[in-house]
Structure 1
Amino acid sequence: MTEQNLARAPEVKSASGELSEAFDEFMTTFEAFKDSNDRRLAELESKGADVLTVEKVDRISRALDEQKRAIDNLSLKRARPALGRDAPAAPSEHKQAFDSYMRSGDDRLIRAFDTKAMSYGSGQDGGYLVPDETEAEIGKRLAELSPIRSIASVRQVSAAVLKKPFSVTGPAVGWVAETAARPQTNTATLAELSFPTMELYAMPAATASLLEDTVVDLDQWISSEVEAAFAEQEGSAFVSGDGVNKPKGFLDYAEVAEASWVWGQIGYVATGVSGALPASNPSDILIDLIYALKSGYRQNANWVMNRKTQASVRKLKDADGNYLWQPPAAAGQRAALMGFPLVEAEDMPDAGANTTPIAFGDFSRGYLIVDRTGVRVLRDPYSAKPYVLFYTTKRVGGGVQDFDAIKLLKYGTT
C-alpha cells in the first residue's frame, strides 16, 4: 500500500464508521417508534389515544425520516469521488483540452477536436461537449439522486425524439389440426409513442481562485455542482411534468378506475374514503392495489410516495399485528412495505381529497427516460463578474411506455 493510500485509509474507515453508527441509531429509533405506536393503538382500543402519546409517535416518526435521510446522504457522500486528483494519471486529450477551456477560456485545443456542438434550438448558443468520463459520472450520480430515474428504464439516443412503436391489436391466432388449412390471420395494428427530449440546464459559478487551483479536478467539480440541480428538476418532471418543455410525468396522464382501465390511461384503486385510508383494516386496500397489478409486473414492483405519506403508512399493522413498513436491511438499501421496496419521492402529492399519493408498479417497464447523448458546457465570464458561470445543459425526455405496469391509490370514494 502506498503512503498516499495509507494516508487516506483512516478517512475511509471514519466515513464507514459514521455510516454504521447512523444506521444503528436509526434501528434503535425504529424500535422506540414501534413501542410508542403500540401504546397508541392500545389506548385507542381502550379509552382513546392520549395526546402526549400521539405527539410522541409523530415526533419519533419525524426523527426516523431525518435519520433515514442522513443515512442516504452519508452513503452518497462515501460514494462521491474526491475533487482532488489522487494520482498523476494522464488524462485523455479531450479532458486536457476541456480543462484548458474551463480554466482560462482557451478553446483552441477543444476546437481542434471538433467537439463544438450548437444547441438544438438556436445555432448561436454554442457549447462544448464534456469528456466522456464526466458525462458518465453525471449519469451515475443522477441515478443515485433521482428517485424515479433509479427505478425507471433509461435509454440513450442521438436524435431529438425517440419514437417507439407498440401493438394495439395483435394478429389473429388460433389452434389448428396438423393437416388442416391455415386461414390468413389479421394484420397487427401498430401505434407509436413519442418521447421528445427537452433541455435541462444548471449554471454553477466558480471563483478565480478555484479555476487557478490545479489540484481541483474541474470535471469532478462540474459533476458535483450540477447533479443536485438536475436531479431535483428531473424528479419533479418525471412525477408530474406536463410534457411542455419538460418530460411528461406519470401522474399527468388520464387516470381511471381500474375496472374501466384502457390503454393510454393509468388505473387506480380508490380507498373509499375522501382524503384518507379506510379507518378499518387499511392494509386491505394496499393489498388490493398490489393485486391490481398483473403478476408479471409484481416481480419487480416498487412503492413510490413522499415522506408524509410514508409516515402515515409506517403506523399500519396487518391482521397478525406485524408492521407493514419495515426498515432497510442495511445502510444504503430501501425500506420495504408489505415486502416490496419503497422509493421516497418528495414530488408525489400529499394525502388529500381525490389525490393519488401512492403509486405501485414496475417502473422499469412502465416509465421510460430518454437521455440525449452529450452534456454541454458554455463558459460565461461576463454576466456575473467577478465570477465565471458555466452554463451546463443536457437533453432529457420521459413518459409512460407501458400503461399496464403502474397503478395508483386514490384517496377518494370513486
Structure 2
Amino acid sequence: MTNLQNLIEKRAKAWEGAKAFVESKKDKDGLLKEEDVQTYNEMEAKIAQFSSEIERVSRMEQMEKELSKPMNTPLTGKPMAEKMQSEKEQKNAMHKDAMLKALRSNFRQVDNVLQEKVDADGGYLVPEEYDNRLIQSLEGENIMRQLGHTITTSGDHKINIAATTPAAAWIDEGGQLTFGEATFKQALLDAHKLHVAIKVTEELLYDSAFNLENYILEQFGKALANAEEDAFLNGDGTGKPTGVFHQTNGGTYLTEVATLKADDIINLIHALKRPYRKGAVFILNDKTIAAIRKLKDNNGAYMWQPSYQVGEPDRLLGYPVYTSQFAPENKIAFGDFSYYNIGDRGTRSFKQLTELFAGNGMIGFVAKERVDGKLILKEAVQILPIKA
C-alpha cells in the first residue's frame, strides 16, 4: 500500500470516528456538551490535516512522475501507429486511467467510463452527449403547512381546549350569585414516522453532469411534503396524522347535497361561525373548482373571482381558495385552518448509506421525520359533501 493510499484510509477512519463520536454524545435535544464540541473540533482539525497531507503527497507523486520522464523519447514505432489502436485497447486504457483516478480520490471522483448499467437504474451516462439539464415534473407545495399552526416538540404535546365557556346572567339587586364550572379537554399530538428512501449508483452520484445530491435532497423534501399534505387532509390517525376531511375527528360535516348549486356555497360560508370567518379559506380539488367556476348568482354573474395579482389566491365570494390534488373531489372544506395543529417531533434527518449496498456498487439515501397533525376544534372547519 502506498503512502497516499494509507493516508486516504486513515482520513476515512478518522471521519467515521468523528461521526460516531457525535452520535454517541448527543443529548435528548440532539445537542453536544461544550467539552464534547471541543473534542469534535480537534477531531475535525486532524481530518483537515490529513486532507492537506494527501494533497501534498499527491502533488509530490505527480511531480516525481513528471521528473522521471526522459528528455527525449526515442522513436521505436511507426508514426501514426497510435491511431491504429483497436477500439478494445482504447477502452481498456480509459478504464485503467479512470480506476486509478477513483482509487487515488477514495472513489470521490469516478468517471462515466466505469459505469455500465441500464437507464432505469439511472446509471447510463454518455459523457459526450449527456445533457446537463435535469428534466423533472413540477410538484405542488404543501398548503397545510402554510395554513396550519406548526409546533416543534421533543415529546408528546398536549393541547388544552376549553369545553365550556362562562355565561353572563341577570340577577336582582341583592340576589344570589350563580356559579358555573369551566371544563377542559385535551388534544394529544403524537409522532408518526414518515420516510422516503432511494438508491443510486456510485458512478451517477459522483458524476459531474449535475449536482445529484442536491437534487435528491430537493426531491426528498417534495416527496415528504406531498405525503404530509395527503395525511393532513385525508389521514385516519392510524400510523399517520388525522386529516381535516376525517368523518369523525376532522371538520364538522353538513348535510350532503345532491348537486352543487350557488346557494350551497353561501350556506357553507354561513354555517361557519362568524369569528372563524375572519381567517377562513376554501380547500378543494381542481375538479370541484371546474364545477364552481360555472356557477352564477341570481344576477347572472359568475361567483368565481380569479386573481389578477401575482402570489394572491383566487377568491370565491370574497374568500381565498386553495387547491390540493389530495382534496376529495366530492367535498369542500371551508374554515380557519390555523386550528389544524401540526406537531414536528424534532427535525427531518437525512442519511447516506454507503455500506448497505456497497457490494452492488450502490449508495442509499434515506430521509425521515416524525410528525402528527390534528384539527383541535371541529367547529373551526365546515365540510360540504356533494353526492354528484
State the TM bucket, normalised to the shorter chain.
0.5 to 0.7
Q: How far 1:113 moved relative to its partner?
A: 3.7
Q: Deviations over 1:100-157 (max 9, x none)?
A: xxx99944333444477799xxxxxxxxxxxxxxxxxxxxxxx971122221111111
Please tell me whether the aligned partners of residues 281 and 322 of structure 2 are also in contact (alpha carbons under 8 angstroms): yes
Counterpart secondary structure, 2:264: helix
Q: 5 Å matches for 1:293-372?
A: 293-351=272-330, 357-365=331-339, 367-372=340-345
Q: Name which of 97, 105, 109 aligns with 2:18.
A: 109
Q: Which AA in structure 1 matches 2:253?
A: Y
Q: Which AA in structure 1 matches 2:361?
A: P
Q: Aligned partners of 1:176 and 1:379: how far apart in 2?
A: 71
Larger Rg computed on CA atoms: 2
Q: Are the structure 2 counterparts of residues 192 and 105 from structure 1 closer, same or farther at C-alpha, using a change threshold of 3 Å? A: farther
Q: How far 1:378 moved relative to its partner?
A: 3.2
Please tell me whether the aligned partners of residues 272 and 335 of structure 2 are also in contact (alpha carbons under 8 angstroms): yes
More off after superposition, 191-200 vs 203-212: 203-212
Please tell me whether the aligned partners of residues 269 and 288 of structure 1 are also in contact (alpha carbons under 8 angstroms): no
Q: Aligned partners of 1:239 and 1:293: how far apart in 2?
A: 19
1:169 aligns with 2:78: no
Q: 5 Å matches for 1:139-288?
A: 145-159=141-155, 161-171=156-166, 173-174=168-169, 183=177, 185-209=179-203, 212=206, 220-254=214-248, 266-270=251-255, 272-273=257-258, 276-277=259-260, 282-288=261-267
Q: Aligned partners of 1:410 and 1:220: how far apart in 2?
A: 42
Q: Are the structure 2 counterparts of residues 243 and 116 from structure 1 closer, same or farther at C-alpha, using a change threshold of 3 Å? A: farther
Q: How far 1:295 moved relative to its partner?
A: 1.3
Q: Are the structure 2 counterparts of residues 195 and 182 from structure 1 closer, same or farther at C-alpha, using a change threshold of 3 Å? A: farther
In structure 1, stretches of 5+ residues that fail to align are 1-102, 120-142, 255-263, 352-356
Q: Aligned partners of 1:105 and 1:336: how far apart in 2?
A: 58
Q: Name which of 370, 374, 377 aligns with 1:402.
A: 377
Q: Which AA in structure 2 matches 1:371?
A: D
Q: Are the structure 2 counterparts of residues 187 and 155 from structure 1 closer, same or farther at C-alpha, using a change threshold of 3 Å? A: same
Q: How far 1:247 moved relative to its partner?
A: 0.3
Counterpart secondary structure, 2:328: coil
Q: Aligned partners of 2:254 and 2:178: how far apart in 1?
A: 41
In structure 2, stretches of 5+ residues that fail to align are 1-11, 29-138
Please tell me whether the aligned partners of residues 271 and 285 of structure 1 are also in contact (alpha carbons under 8 angstroms): no
More off after superposition, 149-158 vs 207-216: 207-216
Q: Are the structure 2 counterparts of residues 218 and 180 from structure 1 closer, same or farther at C-alpha, using a change threshold of 3 Å? A: farther
Q: Which AA in structure 2 matches 1:145?
A: E
Q: Name which of 356, 380, 391 aligns with 2:366.
A: 391
Per the alignment, residue 19 of structure 1 pairs with none
Per the alignment, residue 124 of structure 1 pairs with none
Q: Aligned partners of 1:182 and 1:211: how far apart in 2?
A: 80
More off after superposition, 145-154 vs 183-192: 183-192
Per the alignment, residue 21 of structure 1 pairs with none
Q: Are the structure 2 counterparts of residues 252 and 265 from structure 1 closer, same or farther at C-alpha, using a change threshold of 3 Å? A: closer
Please tell me whether the aligned partners of residues 170 and 188 of structure 1 are also in contact (alpha carbons under 8 angstroms): yes
Q: Aligned partners of 2:14 and 2:217: how far apart in 1?
A: 19
Q: Which AA in structure 1 matches 2:197?
A: M
Q: Aligned partners of 2:363 and 2:344: how far apart in 1?
A: 27
Q: Aligned partners of 1:234 and 1:165: how far apart in 2?
A: 24
Q: Are the structure 2 counterparts of residues 326 and 387 from structure 1 closer, same or farther at C-alpha, using a change threshold of 3 Å? A: farther
1:381 aligns with 2:354: yes
Q: Aligned partners of 1:382 and 1:110: how far apart in 2?
A: 15
Q: Deviations over 1:56-110 (max 9, x none)?
A: xxxxxxxxxxxxxxxxxxxxxxxxxxxxxxxxxxxxxxxxxxxxxxx99944333
Q: How far 1:220 moved relative to its partner?
A: 4.4
Q: How far 1:203 moved relative to its partner?
A: 1.2
Would you say how many aligned residue pairs link Structure 1 and Structure 2? 265
1:289 aligns with 2:283: no
Q: Percent identity?
A: 29
Please tell me whether the aligned partners of residues 148 and 345 of structure 1 are also in contact (alpha carbons under 8 angstroms): no
Q: How far 1:340 moved relative to its partner?
A: 1.1
Q: Are the structure 2 counterparts of residues 104 and 360 from structure 1 closer, same or farther at C-alpha, using a change threshold of 3 Å? A: farther
Q: Aligned partners of 2:205 and 2:263: how far apart in 1?
A: 58
Please tell me whether the aligned partners of residues 247 and 253 of structure 2 are also in contact (alpha carbons under 8 angstroms): no
Q: Deviations over 1:264-295 (max 9, x none)?
A: 6733333542xx21xxxx21110010011111
Q: How far 1:382 moved relative to its partner?
A: 4.3
Q: Which AA in structure 2 matches 1:370?
A: G
Q: Which AA in structure 1 matches 2:185?
A: A
Counterpart secondary structure, 1:332: coil
Please tell me whether the aligned partners of residues 233 and 327 of structure 2 are also in contact (alpha carbons under 8 angstroms): yes
Q: How far 1:158 moved relative to its partner?
A: 1.2
Counterpart secondary structure, 2:268: helix
Q: How far 1:339 moved relative to its partner?
A: 1.4
Counterpart secondary structure, 1:233: helix
